Chains A and B, each alone.
Chain A
Amino acid sequence: MGAQLRAVRRRIRSVQSTAKITRAQELIASSRIIKAQQRLHAAAPYAREITQAVEAVVSRSANVDHPLTRPAANPSRVGVLILTSDRGFCGGFNANVLREAQSLRALLAGNGLQVTTYVSGRKGIVWHRFRNLDMAAEWSGFSDVPAHANAAEITSVLLDAYGRDAADGGVDELYLVYTEFVSMLTQRPVALRLLPLEIEETTEAPPTGPLPIYEFEPSPEDVLNALLPWYVESRILHALLDSAAAEIAARRRAMKSATDNANELIEQLTRDANKARQAEITQEISEIVGGANALAEASRE
């Protein structure tokens, strides 16, 4: 066998094993995406109820004055929470969310604010370490199956920082950058302000009809004090779950196109191998014919 043919066959084998791996990853992601979506749906009732309860309290109070809703007079330091994935093999997922985070940070820094960064997900942590960027806190190990406990941990750190003065290393505002699961094919990085919460005055009736006139146990203030941190926590949990679903969907798509590319490459290489084999045979035939002709000529003389 010729050297060229051997080299091409070796490449075919290597691409075939890559295709097997990416195909398996694609199938794993396909089965996990359903679970991730179910978790997202399972979390919806809690998020909906808590939002409604907060709306009910806020709409009943003449003026809400709570630290979590009060904008700082002169914000000097802001926090940014970035949600990335723990594992790679998911296409541009992490690159996109980190790019969004970079542009948000550039914007905030342009406004003369100091930015403190909080990162969740191993890929984001590594990205920051590699660039020697400081992180105030980091979490990892749960990006594809986040649980309430993870959200609670992140929230307690963030609320603690939010509760302190900027001079103390606290933050005056908090932003959240994560990837939104739009559909199986589309995942969009989004950046939004988490704290202080924005209270929107609206004259429109809520879609579910007017809110009942609630009584509050023990008092509206106490209820609001208890609810707002849980509301923030529920927002963070929702972002974590959304980001997990987006990560798996991105992985599925990346692995599918990797498998398709590998198969295309195998086809091309198989053609090359056939050509090389044919060239070898042609060369052998022409050598034999040439040899025979030479012998015949020699005997004629």
Chain B
Amino acid sequence: MTLRVELVIPDGEVWAGTAELVVAKTTEGDIGVLTNHAPVIGILAEGSLVQIRPDQPGEPDVYAAVSGGFFSIADNRVSVLARQARLGRDVDAGATQQALDEALQRADQGHGAEEQADVKYYRALLRAAGGSS
């Protein structure tokens, strides 16, 4: 028994496959999903990481940064719907660091919640690239 996982953004699919474990962060705290989990719809924390452990032994965990969104779990299907998402292995650390610095500057200049969310997302991207939560 495995979980069928799909990570989708409005433009398309980021990752899909089967997994043994999915860890996501809701606004209330981390939630780990194994098979036969009760049906849940939850809101993802802004700029958090989603960890997916594929069920093939030896395959490394997949980390994805999400900017916000929600997930739904039912019948061993996990759908993570993020407004923006990127897999850790696709992150260009240098460019993201630069984008983060710029976002930090904008946030310092007293801009609104949008910049704060950007900062969180860029930090999540860097953490995803590092492969650890």
A residues whose Cβ falls under 8 Å from a Cβ of B: 39, 42-43, 45-47, 49-50, 52-53, 56-57, 147-148, 151-152, 212-218, 222-223, 226-227, 230, 233-234, 237
B13 and A42 contact, CB distance less than 8 A: yes
Which candidate, B33-41, B94-102, B119-127, is the interface stretch facing chain A? B33-41
B12 and A43 contact, CB distance less than 8 A: yes
- Taking CB as reference atom, which chain B residue is nearest A146? B11
Chain A residue numbers with a CB within 8 Å of B28 are: 217-218
Which candidate, B2-10, B51-59, B103-111, is the interface stretch facing chain A? B2-10
B6 and A45 contact, CB distance less than 8 A: yes
B residues whose Cβ falls under 8 Å from a Cβ of A: 6, 8-13, 26-28, 31, 38-43, 69-70, 72, 74-75, 79, 81, 83-84
A223 and B8 contact, CB distance less than 8 A: no
A214 and B72 contact, CB distance less than 8 A: yes
Contact of B74 among A42, A212, A216, A217 (CB under 8 A): A212
Contact of B39 among A57, A213, A227 (CB under 8 A): A213
Chain B interface helix/strand/loop/mixed: strand
Chain A interface helix/strand/loop/mixed: helix
Contact of B10 among A151, A212, A214, A216 (CB under 8 A): A151
Chain A residue numbers with a CB within 8 Å of B81 are: 46, 49-50, 53, 230
Chain A residue numbers with a CB within 8 Å of B27 are: 217-218, 222
B31 vs chain A, min Cβ distance (A): 7
Given contacts A217-B28, A218-B28, A223-B70, contact A46 B41 (CB under 8 A): no
Which 9 pairs show the lowest CB-CB distances between chains A and B?
A: A217-B42, A42-B12, A212-B39, A148-B10, A212-B74, A214-B39, A217-B26, A218-B28, A46-B8
Contact of A233 among B10, B42, B79 (CB under 8 A): B10
Chain A residue numbers with a CB within 8 Å of B8 are: 45-46, 49
- Taking CB as reference atom, which chain A residue is nearest B31? A217
Q: How far is the CA of A217 from the CA of B72 in the complex (A)?
A: 10
A230 and B72 contact, CB distance less than 8 A: no
Contact of B41 among A39, A57, A147, A233 (CB under 8 A): A57
- Enumerate 25 A-B pairs (CB-CB under 8 Å) in ascending A order: A39-B11, A45-B8, A45-B13, A46-B8, A46-B10, A47-B10, A49-B81, A52-B72, A53-B41, A151-B10, A212-B39, A214-B40, A214-B41, A214-B72, A215-B40, A217-B26, A217-B27, A217-B31, A217-B43, A218-B27, A222-B27, A222-B43, A223-B42, A226-B70, A230-B81
